Chain A
């Protein structure tokens, strides 16, 4: 029983990381109509930007988070302006190819600048709290922070989407592009904000991943498949679905280690995704098929 609770915690931590990525993927798909394949490498780059920031100023691990979020928001807008904007007028699938190329460009940049070895934010082992009232379950402070901060970020995205003009404009564009455009919604500004939010959340996901495990140039790429699985599960183009999808995928991946070798964790995400594509391709919360 303790084992299961313990895996549930790990699953929720992983789910928080996946949610941060999946919200971005889902929003970008809703507005720009393409699956953004560079999102995993956005996460990687964010994690490394955070690493450089804290080592340059000698700060503690968690300072990596704001640095990565701001850095990735700027870089995401920059990449959109330099590359994606130029090919947006053609078919969305050309954007998909471009983002796939961008994924490799970013990864090789990370390898060039930071090298291919494993790195960590802080050396040493963090002692977990032992929760006796929960059957001796262990909880690392970092894990608690990851869950709490992602809860806060999700709440922030929710408030932005429901309470601000720009957030409403974004939902309108995602629901019905043509209707939104004829009613005078500033498309370019909405697209830019989409990249700001998507980039910042990808940066946060990268830092969470780096704090939870370690930093490596392929850390984001290997997380991309579960992130897409989460986005599809929740209904692609639906940011709220991404939260449910992220948590379901994260918990299932960790729980699966009770039954199958841990090396096949990504296969669980994939299997859930394939099952979803066969049974209900529009996702739990009806997205865009």
Chain B
């Protein structure tokens, strides 16, 4: 492969890793901080991606939309839509055990997928939405590298915000809920309230990830998401990187995305009649990787390091 080929592969690799890092940071807010088990990531991701796509694409007779709005408006729409979804799911599940959230969230992801697939008027159904433009389209700045910089800026911004949240008194309550719910309730904190806030914030971040993905990939269809694998990859990223640790979430996103794309290169060498087996083999490998991490190093590569609670005496 010539140098420019390697460079463009690297840029696309890092952009994907960046989008996944945003998702992993969103999940870290829910699972890493608060202990909320969301396996409907694909649902929030899809809502964000489709909202941004519908707001920004030029008008089309096939589906609703064609508002032709700018990139940032699309992203804002993505965040608002996934926030609303997060509020609905959060209100239902905030006062229940986390197993119920897990079941409800997988239901939400499934409902979103069914809706996207069957409501042609809104999403163009299985034919998908094409021609989602990158920001600065038709200008000198339009290049994959520019988009990588934009994604990197968003990752940095989200990282800064969640890191501040983690260290704040608010984040401390979340960790307290995760570690010992009855004690936190006894200290007079509203468990359901804090859970709802963390869940909605995490969902909003996931919606942002969806929007960033839509403008990078340029095409959306119900199957292009690989809904379940998307959710699953984000989970493996967070657990491998170190749940509770924001830098771990970003590192995990890069590492696991590296493993995932690396296996794609390997299975790409298989003859084409074994293509579906190759895809299954990749999922199998990632699944085994998760189990090995859970058994041998459940705290991840970068374990959580909570900030000092009390200032040390001089």
Chain A residues near B96 (CB-CB < 8 A): 277, 281, 289
Nearest CB to that of B288 among chain A residues? A105
B102 touches A115 (CB 8 A): no
B63 within 8 A of A: no
> Chain A: interface residue count, which band?
35 or more
**Which residues of chain A come closer than 8 Å to B98, judged between CB atoms?**
93
Q: Please, which residues of chain A bring their CB within 8 A of the CB of B291?
A: 83, 98, 101-102, 105
With A98-B291, A101-B232, A102-B291: A266-B114 Cβ-Cβ less than 8 Å = yes
Knowing A98-B291, A115-B276, A263-B114 are in contact, say whether A104-B228 is a contact too (CB < 8 A): yes
B39, B114, B117, B280: most-surrounded residue (chain A CB, <10 A): B280
| A116-B298 CB under 8 A given contacts A97-B235, A225-B107 | no
Q: How far is the CB of B40 from chain A (nearest CB, A)?
A: 11
Provide 23 A-B residue pairs closer than 8 Å at the C-beta atoms, listed in order of the A residue: A93-B98, A96-B37, A98-B290, A98-B291, A100-B232, A101-B236, A101-B290, A101-B291, A104-B228, A104-B283, A105-B287, A107-B283, A108-B280, A108-B281, A112-B280, A225-B103, A225-B110, A232-B100, A236-B99, A270-B107, A274-B107, A277-B92, A277-B100
* Nearest neighbor of B287 in chain A, beta-carbon distance: A105
Answer yes or no: A86 CB below 8 A from chain B CBs. yes
Within B202-237, which residues are at the interface with A (CB < 8 Å)?
228-229, 232, 235-236
Report the nearest B residue to A115, measured CB to CB. Answer: B276
Would you call B103 and A232 a contact (CB within 8 A)? yes
Mask of A63-103 contacts with B, CB within 8 angstroms, 1/0: 00000000000000000000100110010111011101110
The answer, among A97, A107, A267, for a CB contact under 8 Å with B294, is A97
Q: Can you add 10 more A-B contacts, CB < 8 Å, to A86-B295, A100-B39, A273-B104?
A: A35-B102, A87-B294, A87-B298, A101-B287, A105-B288, A105-B291, A116-B280, A221-B228, A229-B107, A289-B96
Partner of B111, one of A101, A115, A267: A267
Q: Assess whether B276 is in contact with A116, with CB atoms less than 8 Å apart.
A: yes
What is the CB-to-nearest-CB distance from A12 to chain B, in angstroms, rounded to a whole number? 23
Minimum distance in angstroms from B272 CB to a CB of chain A: 15
Interface of A is mostly: helix
Pairwise interchain contact B295-A225, C-beta atoms closer than 8 A: no
Asked whether any CB of chain A lies closer than 8 Å to the CB of B46, the reply is no
Taking CB atoms, residues of chain A closer than 8 Å to B114 are 263-264, 266-267
Cα distance A70–B290 when bound, in Å?
28
Asked if B92 contacts A274 (CB within 8 A), the reply is yes
Identify which of residues 82-138 in chain B touch chain A, using a CB-to-CB cut-off of 8 Å.
92-93, 96-100, 102-104, 106-107, 110-111, 114, 117-118
| Complex Cα spacing A194 to B99, Å | 19
Q: How far is A92 from B98 in the complex, measured between Cα atoms in Å?
A: 10
Q: Identify A111's interface contact among B93, B110, B239, B276, CB under 8 A.
A: B276
Which of B102, B104, B107, B110 contacts A37 (CB under 8 A)? Answer: B102
- The answer to whether A273 and B294 touch (CB under 8 A), given A93-B37, A264-B114, is no
Report B287 CB to chain A, min CB distance, Å.
4
**How far is B298's CA from A83's CA once the two chains are assembled, in angstroms?**
13
Within 8 A of A (CB), among B17-46: 35, 37, 39
**Chain A residue with the shortest CB-CB distance to B36:** A93
A270 touches B280 (CB 8 A): no
Nearest B residue (CB) for A106: B287
**Is A34 engaged at the interface, CB distance under 8 Å to the other chain?**
yes
Q: How far is the CA of A83 from the CA of B281 in the complex (A)?
A: 20
A102 touches B280 (CB 8 A): no
Q: Knowing A108-B287, A274-B92 are in contact, say whether A96-B102 is a contact too (CB < 8 A).
A: yes
Chain A: CB-nearest residue to B107: A270
Interface centre among B103, B110, B236, B298 (most CB of A within 10 A): B103
* B residues less than 8 Å from A277 (CB atoms): 92-93, 96, 100, 104
CB distance from B60 to the nearest CB of A (A): 23
Given known contacts A277-B92, A281-B100, A270 and B111 CB-to-CB distance under 8 angstroms: yes
Please indicate the chain A residues that have their CB under 8 angstroms from the CB of B10 in the complex. Answer: none
Q: Is the CB of A108 within 8 A of B118?
A: no
Cβ–Cβ < 8 Å partners of B156 in chain A? none
Residues of B within 8 A of A105 (CB): 283-284, 287-288, 291
B302 to chain A, nearest CB (A): 18
Contacts of B146 in A (CB 8 A): none
Query: Within the assembled complex, what's the spacing in Å between the Cα atoms of A98 and B290?
Result: 8
Complex: how many Å from CA A112 to CA B239? 26
